[in-house]
Amino acid sequence: VDLDYYEKVKSKGIPLILFDRGENDLNVDYIGINDYDSSHMIVEHLVNQGCKRIAHIGGFKHTRIYNNRIKGYIDAIKKHNLP
């Protein structure tokens, strides 16, 4: 939640690249996956395998990856009319 450490690194001119946990508020380069699409594809795969009760275990609600993953999950669940 506290991004002060990263801001301090940036202020010193040190290049900063985040891996997997990029935060939009920092405005730095980020290496990761499309969390929304990945989550959606996982649900699609499970549905195609015959699964009907698919749970989502999330992480920290304040992170971008959590929010994108839960959106992908919910959209896929709704698409297939699952609880």
DSSP string, 10-47: HHTT---EEES---GGG--EEE---HHHHHHHHHHHHH
Same domain, 3 and 42: no
What pLDDT sits at residue 29? 84
Residue 80's Cα: distance from chain center in Å?
21
Question: How far apart are alpha carbons 58 and 65 in whole angstroms?
Answer: 9
Same domain, 13 and 45: no
What pLDDT sits at residue 3? 79
Same domain, 2 and 39: no
By the 8 A CB rule, do 82 and 40 touch? Answer: no
pLDDT in tens, the chain (83 residues): 677 888 899 899 998 888 877 666 777 888 888 999 999 999 999 999 999 999 999 888 878 888 999 999 999 999 999 99
For residue 39, the tally of other CB atoms under 10 A from its CB is 23
By residue range, what is the domain housing residue 47? 34-82
pTM given for the model: 0.75
